[in-house]
Structure 1
Amino acid sequence: MKIIKVRNILLYIITIIMLLLVSGCSKLQKPTKVVRNDIERYNNPFSISSFTNNWGDEFGIQAPYILRYNGVYYMYIATPNNGLGVKLYKSDNLMDWTYVGNVFNPGSKGETTDEINRSDSEDLAHGAIAPEVRYFNGYFYLYTSLTKGTGKPVGNLIYRSTGVSGTYSDQTTNLGLNKDGTVFIDDDEKMYFLTAGDKPGVIYLYTMSNLAKINTDKKKEIVIDNSNTYYYQAPYMIKKGEYYYLFYSQTKNDDSGYELNYSYSKELDVTKFVKNENEPLLTNNASAIKGSYQTSIFLGPDLLTYYTVYSDENNRLVLSQLKFDGKLVYLDARLSDNIKPQTPDFYAKDQMSEFYEQVDGRLLSKLVTSSDYVAEFNFSGVNSIYPNLYVSYQDKDNYLKIEIASKKITLTQVKNGTSSVVAEGTINYTFSVIRNHTVFVEKRGNKIDIYFNDMHKISADIKTSGGRIGYGTGNPERIAYTAFTSITSSNALINYADGSILARSYLPNNSKLTESLIKNIDDAYYLVLKENDYVSYLVDFVNDGTYVLIFTYNNTAKANKIYLSIDGKDYQTIKLPKEKDAIVSIKLSEQHFTKGLHTITIAADEFEFSSIKIVEKK
């Protein structure tokens, strides 16, 4: 009898302990598995033969540069030593490319020559190295170095055209600067020109008076490092959020080849850039893709995902997703089973689109955005008047209006029929109203950001829901590509298991947050989970296997455990180890996954984490 009583007491104690263990997550909503049946895939690299009229298999698709203009992607490629002009391809989806032509239109002179330093070498971009094209205020500017048949790049030249496909004509004599010229325009509309360094450790930066005039006497050095180990070439600068990112190829000038890497800064100050502390984005030790030299970065068709394009060691085109997270940049350089770029929820190429309708005297989308969305407008005005732009349009008494005057951009909210100015931004440059202009809008939660011609002009707090987008005052014949994408779980970022999952890339419709709280710790973004909060991620696995989950989190936060669910199954409790460092990256779990999409859900109380790195266990 005593034995039975003891056994019953032990069972009771065990039951109480189990109940206590699960009580921490008992109030959590049961996680769900996210199913996506609309995914299409592609493989890297693209075959050279898929690009008609290319320069041949040996030269391939070298130094590709992609310009996104009016909803279309235009790719300019380098020219061989004996080639004349620059070849151009275009695509609506980044997958299917059509040959447009040679933008220098050499005509009867042919596209190749055996001559060196021809009298028309500069006119016809003889041996163009790493061409780059920028659109600004009605003109397309092409920057390149030329070999002129000598086998070595000589200086820099600037060409200009009124059309994206040319014909381009030279605007300058040879400027004699280093190769790999690239342009960056800051939010205040100041312009800069960057080139490769001619000594270890540096990239050169010049100011520009306009896109056809480089102030060659205003050279500054961006010091990448002082190790005297690497030469830094093929620079490319982009600003995303608070950070300036400077990408480049690094080489030891030996047979080890090129690696893709970057530096970052919160200021455009040549003394403030910090080199990526982790391994390069692409290394020469990788078993998959290597050999990258030139790269360009652009927004995908969904208006949410960033991509970069480059060529591999065999001069074949590679397209990869790129993710930004404070000082951290992640490149998903996957060979096979990449997820094809997604289309926007709504797009119209002109005012005649069947997806528009007249509402309250305005031309508005038939579709409505969710509360969070991104939207893009391409347009030009007439008679010195820009069209009014509308977002979050619910009815004639509730909407947001964007107005552009000669030197000002204004965001106005109309709520229950009452109008009030929310924010204004300054435009310094005298833009021509009749040229094509772009306005990009990003609304997340109670924050809205507005960009004019890729320059950040307005950031404001606002309370409103989604709605239609569209146009008001202006000539409708001048309305061009317009699109939006709602930010929902159905189009949220699909993370690759062979990369890192950013904490902020959760599925909004399959997560619950008390508030969307982000902390910046040591120039990286950390998502804060409160009691009963949970976030879900969609992750793509390319192989069946066992994978290690490595969390980077703030060890000074109060959490001592987290809860982990895979594909909607019951939560597993994971205790956090005691560590001395404030920020730690530690293996917290080991799970088996089959090939394909899986849902990973994290729940916790007072847990702050920036990323989850998933590594296949060999």
Structure 2
Amino acid sequence: MRKYLKILLVLMVGCLILPASLAQAYQNPQTLSHEWETYGSGDPYILKFKGDYYLYVSTKDSETGIKAWSSPDLVNWTYAGLVATDPVTKGAYAPEVIYWNGYFYMYTSPGGNGHYVLRSESPTGPFTVQTPNKGLSIDGHVFIDDDGQWYFYRAEHGQMVAHPMSDPYTFGAGHQTGASIGGGWTEGATVIKRNGKYYMTYTGNHVHSPAYRIDYAVSSNPLTGFEPASKQNPVVLSTEGPTIGLGHNGLVTGPDLDSLYMFYHNWKGYTPEGWPIRSINMDRVVWNGDKMLVLGPTATSQPDPDMPDFHDRFNRTAIGSNWYNVNGGHWGIYNQELMWQDSMGSTAAHKQITNAATDANYTAEFHMKQMNRGTSASPRYGATFSYVNEDNYGVAMLSELHNRLEVNFVVDGVSQGWVYASLPSGFDYSKWHSIRVEKSGNEFRIYVDQMLKIVQSANLGGGQVGYLTEDTHADFAYVAFSNKVDGSNAWDAYKPVPGKVEAVHYMSGGEGIAYHDTTANNLGGEYRKDAVDIRVNPEGGYNVGWNQSGEWLKYKVNVASTGAYDVTFRMATTMDGVQIRLWDGTTDLTGIVQIPNTGGWDEWRSITVKGIPLTQGLRELRVEFVTGEADFASMEFQHYASVPHLTDNFDGSKSGDWKQWEGSWSVSGGLYHSAGGTFAKATIGNDHWADYTVEVDIRMNEGGGDSGIIVRGTNPANGLELGQGNADFMQGYYAYIKTDGVYLGKQNYNWSPLTGVNLALSTGTWHKMKVVVQGTNIKVYVGDMNVPKIDYNDYSETAFTHGKAGLRTAHQSTSFDNFTVYP
């Protein structure tokens, strides 16, 4: 056993923490006050500025003006009125706002007829038009890179297009980014940068379609080379249920400074004029290495976004007892909205320090502007962090004199030396700017206006934060810190159930509280800095490894409703007799679960346990490794549903419980007919069915196409409506026959052929077909019901474990009879 070769097993006993209650919660879809009547709120975009959020949405086509709302927490929104009223804003699509150097720039495409740029000195306007029509399609999005270079992204048929910008109003030549949804119309881009990589989320097909959906792609270049994340896409999709037609998202950092939230809209129907009615939704985004995962889409109560561990908006008349002064200066509060220091003429570092202190790892955010500077050699102003005393602290300061960011650390009274980073030409120090500090271990990452400028190491722990000036009169606004960094918010986020939980997202709290691990250190040395052993997963991201008998991990989940669920564990092991178990407190949910020998530590298998009882609300589930050793990647929860014995001989004149998604279907002569000429599918049953058998008699009435059975089908939609012409609008498996053989493939809004065998099958003749799905195994029978023609195991991480049954044809007139589903 791998760990036993390295360490001596030490057994420790974990204690239980009772789950919290769901006291503050939001629920999708959400309704805003003063929404456009009979139109709702579509294409949401969120701007964060000085600790507050501003939401902008598309304008109803018959109306003029752009509406906005503000919020301190992403949940409670206050209507801010019409922030733009120029006649050009009639039917303004997808307005997005970016702050730069004292101005707010808005990009919108009224009526979809080209873009205009508007500008304001406030996020709530008034925005005034600055440019003529710039053209460039719809859904403009602006991203500013670490070097201050601007990029503009827009919709196009085939893939998103990116334009470098020379200023806020001037767009260079377009570049094909590679980010595409099925080669069709692609829109609604949002770009963020993380660990040196560019992540683009975007939306595809038609805004009126229930299959409107969100994908993402990754590149090392902001203009080109975006590779769709095929193993995660679509990241947001729902074609049936309380929310459908999900798309056009924006991404914004949460109030805790570390979490990331995705805002998107759902489709509710049409206005009398034929335009979509929409509502906004939000769900948390979490990371596992380079993998971006959306904890959703949700339509049940979810915990409100976390607030920072400390924040101050200075909404009072005096500085107050939560701060203390170091080295003097003349400090005060202005208009209950900011703190100022106006003493000049001295090079002393005048400081205001919070009494509140961070943990060892944290994220901090500061906002400031210069009112005046002195004549000394180094007038500057900025933030201090990891402050313990005058012998141990860090500072990040803005210098107009040298047009740069200046960073220094003092450790045990010794300066570690100033480090400098140039700021963009024209940087206006009299306007509001932000400094962000991310501390992880001994590494400090310093951002100015979201641009990463300096990465530096220093032997400092956590500490207090504050503001300081040297020979400068400066104003200081919203300040906050959170004891989270690098996406560690995911560890204590309550993951929605149904949903997927990454193994590395066990809760925080340490040995005996969040986990029991028999080694003092992380043997894999990856991802997290506690004793749990984590390694790189060849399927992407990281997994927990070297799990031994008696060890356990605890996870926070938010169970949608009390009832029975199926849970699928993603595991790898080279050992026989491995056993695990899932607990909720002292309740054994699963009993002993046998984990098969998968044949290799990188050979992953999905093991489903059906019908476990879960209780609604916030829970802490514990995965126990009872016997043996296994690596653990994830667990995914689905509602449990028993499979009935269902038979349809089509003896009536109607299709009964069948739902037809496209094509021409009819019932006559005791048969179910698909007319052919295009692709067609019909489904029946429950999204939560897991293991079952489907039988049907098939008669191919013509050659050249194919006909067969759908199993484990979810999120079906009409691939012909609205000019889409996509045969693969579904997630699930399709087993089918042609005149030359039997085949199996997988649909995930694209097509992946899996396997097939040659077999001569005639038209005009009845062929009995059976498909059996059990676990990850799929057997396909044709003619001989005892020996399968196909026996296939889908061991991939994209295997489908649950879904409806159905029938499908492609360019073939087909008749079906004697359809049966049974467990």
Give the TM bin, normalised by the shorter chain.
Answer: 0.7 to 0.9
The one of 451, 457, 479 equivalent to 1:455 is: 451
1:352-501 equivalence runs, <5 A:
352-354=318-320, 356-361=322-327, 362-383=351-372, 385-405=379-399, 406-421=402-417, 425-473=421-469, 478-487=475-484, 492-501=492-501
Deviates more, 1:351-360 or 1:288-297: 351-360
Q: CA deviation at 1:386?
A: 4.1
Please name the residue that 2:281 is paired with: 318
Q: CA deviation at 1:144?
A: 0.4
1:160-239 equivalence runs, <5 A:
160-197=119-156, 199=157, 201-215=158-172, 218-224=173-179, 228=183, 230-239=184-193
Deviates more, 1:259-268 or 1:94-103: 259-268
Q: CA deviation at 1:421?
A: 3.6
* Cα-to-partner distance string for 1:439-487 (whole Å, 9 max, x where unaligned): 2222233433222211222334444321111111166761101111224
* Cα-to-partner distance string for 1:418-453 (whole Å, 9 max, x where unaligned): 121486545344411111111222223343322221
* Cα-to-partner distance string for 1:163-190 (whole Å, 9 max, x where unaligned): 1112212221111111111111122222
The one of 61, 73, 77 equivalent to 2:41 is: 61
What is the aligned length?
566
Give ranges in structure 2 of 5+ residues lacking alignment. Answer: 269-277, 328-350, 374-378, 528-534, 642-823
CA distance 1:77–1:566, shift in 2 (3 Å): same
Please name the residue that 1:46 is paired with: 30
Corresponding position: 1:511 with 2:510:
no
CA distance 1:570–1:445, shift in 2 (3 Å): farther
Give the Cα–Cα distance (whole angstroms) in 2 for the partners of residues 451 and 427 of structure 1.
Answer: 11
CA distance 1:424–1:288, shift in 2 (3 Å): farther
Please name the residue that 1:577 is paired with: 596
* Cα-to-partner distance string for 1:347-389 (whole Å, 9 max, x where unaligned): 1113945364124332111211122222111111243554231
Give the Cα–Cα distance (whole angstroms) in 2 for the partners of residues 420 and 263 of structure 1.
Answer: 40
Q: Tell whether the 8 Å contact from 1:330 to 1:500 is kept in structure 2 after alignment.
A: no
Give the Cα–Cα distance (whole angstroms) in 2 for the partners of residues 436 and 495 of structure 1.
Answer: 36
| 2:133 partner amino acid | N
Corresponding position: 1:566 with 2:583:
yes
Q: CA deviation at 1:596?
A: 1.5
Q: Kindly report the root-mean-square deviation, in angstroms, between the aligned alpha carbons of the 2 structures.
A: 3.3
CA distance 1:303–1:164, shift in 2 (3 Å): same
Deviates more, 1:29-38 or 1:86-95: 29-38
CA distance 1:96–1:445, shift in 2 (3 Å): same
The one of 573, 582, 586 equivalent to 2:606 is: 586
Give the Cα–Cα distance (whole angstroms) in 2 for the partners of residues 266 and 207 of structure 1.
Answer: 15
Give the Cα–Cα distance (whole angstroms) in 1 for the partners of residues 309 and 57 of structure 2.
Answer: 31
Corresponding position: 1:548 with 2:566:
yes
Give the Cα–Cα distance (whole angstroms) in 2 for the partners of residues 410 and 608 of structure 1.
Answer: 45
Give the Cα–Cα distance (whole angstroms) in 2 for the partners of residues 473 and 28 of structure 1.
Answer: 51
Q: Tell whether the 8 Å contact from 1:348 to 1:355 is kept in structure 2 after alignment.
A: no
The one of 538, 543, 548 equivalent to 2:556 is: 538
Please name the residue that 2:677 is paired with: none
Structure number with higher helix proportion: 1
Deviates more, 1:317-326 or 1:542-551: 542-551
The one of 53, 56, 74 equivalent to 2:54 is: 74
Q: CA deviation at 1:575?
A: 5.3
* Cα-to-partner distance string for 1:318-352 (whole Å, 9 max, x where unaligned): 12222233133224221121111222121111394
Give the Cα–Cα distance (whole angstroms) in 1 for the partners of residues 92 and 208 of structure 2.
Answer: 24
1:10-159 equivalence runs, <5 A:
27-37=11-21, 39-47=23-31, 50-52=32-34, 54-56=35-37, 58-105=38-85, 121-122=87-88, 125-147=89-111, 153-159=112-118
Please name the residue that 1:12 is paired with: none
CA distance 1:358–1:567, shift in 2 (3 Å): same
Structure 2 residue matching 1:312: 3-state secondary structure: strand
CA distance 1:220–1:493, shift in 2 (3 Å): same
Q: CA deviation at 1:565?
A: 5.4
Give the Cα–Cα distance (whole angstroms) in 1 for the partners of residues 494 and 382 of structure 2.
Answer: 35
Identity of aligned residues (%): 24
Q: CA deviation at 1:253?
A: 8.3
Q: CA deviation at 1:310?
A: 2.1
Q: CA deviation at 1:507?
A: 2.2
CA distance 1:579–1:185, shift in 2 (3 Å): same
| 1:274 partner amino acid | P
Larger radius of gyration: 2
Q: CA deviation at 1:287?
A: 2.0
Q: Tell whether the 8 Å contact from 2:324 to 2:355 is kept in structure 1 after alignment.
A: no
Q: CA deviation at 1:522?
A: 4.6
Please name the residue that 2:271 is paired with: none
Give the Cα–Cα distance (whole angstroms) in 2 for the partners of residues 476 and 357 of structure 1.
Answer: 19
Structure 2 residue matching 1:311: 3-state secondary structure: strand
CA distance 1:234–1:559, shift in 2 (3 Å): farther
Give the Cα–Cα distance (whole angstroms) in 2 for the partners of residues 226 and 541 of structure 1.
Answer: 32
* Cα-to-partner distance string for 1:239-282 (whole Å, 9 max, x where unaligned): 23343221111106885552222222244351342343344123
Q: CA deviation at 1:588?
A: 6.1
TM-score (normalised: structure 1): 0.83
Q: Tell whether the 8 Å contact from 1:33 to 1:598 is kept in structure 2 after alignment.
A: no
Give the Cα–Cα distance (whole angstroms) in 2 for the partners of residues 287 and 25 of structure 1.
Answer: 49
Structure number with higher strand proportion: 2
Q: CA deviation at 1:194?
A: 0.7
Give the Cα–Cα distance (whole angstroms) in 1 for the partners of residues 582 and 209 of structure 2.
Answer: 47
Give the Cα–Cα distance (whole angstroms) in 1 for the partners of residues 263 and 175 of structure 2.
Answer: 28
| 1:224 partner amino acid | A
Give the Cα–Cα distance (whole angstroms) in 2 for the partners of residues 227 and 492 of structure 1.
Answer: 35
Corresponding position: 1:329 with 2:293:
yes
Q: Tell whether the 8 Å contact from 1:373 to 1:443 is kept in structure 2 after alignment.
A: yes
| 1:51 partner amino acid | S
| 2:560 partner amino acid | V
Give ranges in structure 1 of 5+ residues lacking alignment. Answer: 1-19, 107-120, 148-152
Deviates more, 1:248-257 or 1:463-472: 248-257
Structure 2 residue matching 1:380: 3-state secondary structure: strand
Corresponding position: 1:526 with 2:542:
yes
Give the Cα–Cα distance (whole angstroms) in 2 for the partners of residues 295 and 183 of structure 1.
Answer: 14
- Which structure has more RCO (C-alpha within 8 Å, separation ≥ 6)? 1
Q: CA deviation at 1:74?
A: 0.7
TM-score (normalised: structure 2): 0.63
